[in-house]
């Protein structure tokens, strides 16, 4: 019995190649067409992978053919660098994938959900048997442990997520925070949506074009504020997101100082993603004001990534421990079954120790 993984990922090929594979294939079709006993197809924007169990060795080309969108094309025409991991290497690879060590953004959280979805879909179609069931359940456990016991998922790495993360570090729960979006750009909108998803209910939008402000306000469930009134809002708001096309700073020390006196015990978090900047950088020196421009947000994202990279060794150690344990547990299961002479379904589909 062979356990193997065949796939393509952002590490090995570009998106133009990746998009040629995995389109209409399902775990069920792979079991049927390639002659596997069990199969699971994991397709994300960064990878197309097949995890399978078969009684005999199945070639990489065979699996590649099952994955191709254009069924009349020979996989050799593409000759994409499919990787192939067998037995223990396959187990290790899956644990790394599920733990987001193999992801484009190290430590991202989406891959675990995608793997669970792929597993669920394959299970429903009957393509997953006891071997892949055990393997994937263990992979989910490993991923959870890696996230809990290391800082691999710590910090945020995109503008919107950094902004939300910092806002939570300042205000805690965002439910009572008042947010003003100044300038209805795409990044502002994304940031505003991210804040709303974390509980913000009072969101105001101001833009030179009131129509655009109303449009965005309606889209995100906020209210529009005329552009000449935005400065006065600084007395009330907790978070300001600015991204106008102004050539000169809109918010300066002189404008902000009198307003801060009235709100001494409430912090003001300013996210200035405009270039040139909308907020005078000296505003950050004011008591209770936390100003982040696009460079400082990127710097925070890089720090988070650096922090995550430091955790790779600890995560790999956890994975290595689980790989050994998983392989041992399979071997022990097989030995027990051979001693009792029983042949439950697991033994038929499990891996021989020699093959691991």
How far is residue 176 CA from its own chain's centroid?
Answer: 28
- Asked if 177 is an active-site residue, the reply is no
Among 310, 329, 335, 342, binds other proteins (CB under 8 A): 310
Kindly list the strands in the beta sheet with 2-9, ordered across the sheet, starting from the edge strand earlier in the chain.
38-43, 47-54, 2-9, 83-86
In this complex, which beta carbon is closest to other proteins, that of residue 303 or of residue 340?
A: 303
Neighbours of 39 (CB within 10 A): 30
Number of residues that bind other proteins (CB under 8 A): 28
Binding of other proteins at residue 296 (CB under 8 A)? yes
Binding of other proteins at residue 259 (CB under 8 A)? no
Binding of other proteins at residue 183 (CB under 8 A)? no
As a whole number of angstroms, the distance between CA 196 and CA 38 comes to 42
As a whole number of angstroms, the distance between CA 215 and CA 230 comes to 17
- Cβ(134)–Cβ(297) below 8 Å: no
As a whole number of angstroms, the distance between CA 6 and CA 63 comes to 7
Q: Distances from the Cα of 339 to the Cαs of 71, 280, 356, in angstroms?
A: 47, 77, 20
Residue (of 55, 58, 44) closest to 6 by Cα position? 58
* Residue 102 CB, nearest approach to other proteins (Å): 21
Binding of other proteins at residue 287 (CB under 8 A)? yes
* Residue 215 CB, nearest approach to other proteins (Å): 32
Residues between 121 and 160 with contacts to other proteins, criterion CB under 8 A: 149-151, 154-155
Give the strand pairing for 2-9 and 223-225. unpaired
Site string (312-351) toward other proteins, x via CB under 8 A = --x-------------------------------------
As a whole number of angstroms, the distance between CA 306 and CA 146 comes to 17
Binding of other proteins at residue 290 (CB under 8 A)? yes
Among 44, 304, 349, 350, binds other proteins (CB under 8 A): 304
Sequence-distant (≥ 6) Cβ neighbours of residue 150 within 8 angstroms: 311, 314, 315, 318
* Residue 187 CB, nearest approach to other proteins (Å): 18
Q: Which of 45, 66, 90, 214 is catalytic?
A: 45
In this complex, which beta carbon is closest to other proteins, that of residue 9 or of residue 145?
A: 145
In this complex, which beta carbon is closest to other proteins, that of residue 112 or of residue 177?
A: 177
Binding of other proteins at residue 292 (CB under 8 A)? yes
Q: Return residues touching other proteins (CB under 8 A).
A: 149-151, 154-155, 166, 168-172, 264-265, 267, 284, 287-288, 290, 292, 296, 299-300, 303-304, 307, 310-311, 314
Active site amino acids = 45
């Amino acid at each position: 019995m062979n356990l193997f993984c065949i796939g393509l990922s952002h590490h090995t090929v570009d998106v133009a190649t990746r998009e040629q594979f995995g389109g209409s294939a399902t775990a069920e079709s792979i079991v049927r067409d390639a002659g596997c006993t069990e199969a699971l197809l994991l397709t994300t924007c960064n990878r197309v992978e097949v995890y399978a169990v078969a009684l005999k060795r199945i070639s990489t080309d065979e699996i590649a053919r099952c994955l191709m969108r254009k069924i009349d094309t020979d996989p050799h025409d593409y000759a994409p660098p499919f990787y192939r991991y067998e037995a223990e290497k396959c187990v290790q690879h899956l644990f790394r994938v599920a733990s987001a060590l193999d992801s484009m953004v190290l430590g991202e959280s989406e891959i675990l959900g995608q793997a669970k979805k792929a597993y669920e879909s394959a299970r429903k179609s009957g393509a997953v048997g006891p071997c892949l069931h055990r393997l994937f359940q263990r992979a989910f456990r490993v991923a959870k442990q890696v996230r809990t016991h290391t800082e691999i998922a710590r910090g945020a790495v995109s503008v919107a997520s950094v902004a939300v993360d910092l806002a939570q570090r300042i205000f805690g729960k965002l439910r009572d925070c008042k947010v003003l979006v100044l300038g209805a750009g795409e990044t502002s909108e994304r940031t505003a949506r991210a804040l709303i998803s974390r509980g913000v209910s009072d969101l105001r939008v101001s833009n030179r074009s009131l129509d655009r402000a109303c449009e965005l306000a309606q889209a995100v469930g906020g209210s529009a504020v005329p552009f000449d009134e935005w400065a006065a809002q600084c007395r009330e708001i907790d978070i300001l997101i600015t991204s106008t096309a102004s050539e000169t700073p809109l918010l300066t020390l002189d404008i902000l100082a009198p307003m801060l006196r009235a709100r001494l015990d409430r912090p003001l978090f300013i996210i200035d993603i405009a270039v040139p900047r909308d907020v005078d950088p000296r505003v950050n020196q004011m008591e209770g004001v936390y100003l982040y421009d696009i460079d400082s947000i990127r710097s925070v994202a890089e720090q988070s990534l650096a922090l995550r990279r430091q955790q790779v060794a600890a995560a790999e150690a956890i994975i290595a421990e689980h790989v050994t344990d998983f392989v041992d547990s399979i071997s022990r299961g097989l030995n027990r079954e051979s001693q009792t002479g029983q042949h439950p379904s697991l033994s038929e589909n499990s891996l021989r120790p020699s093959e691991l």
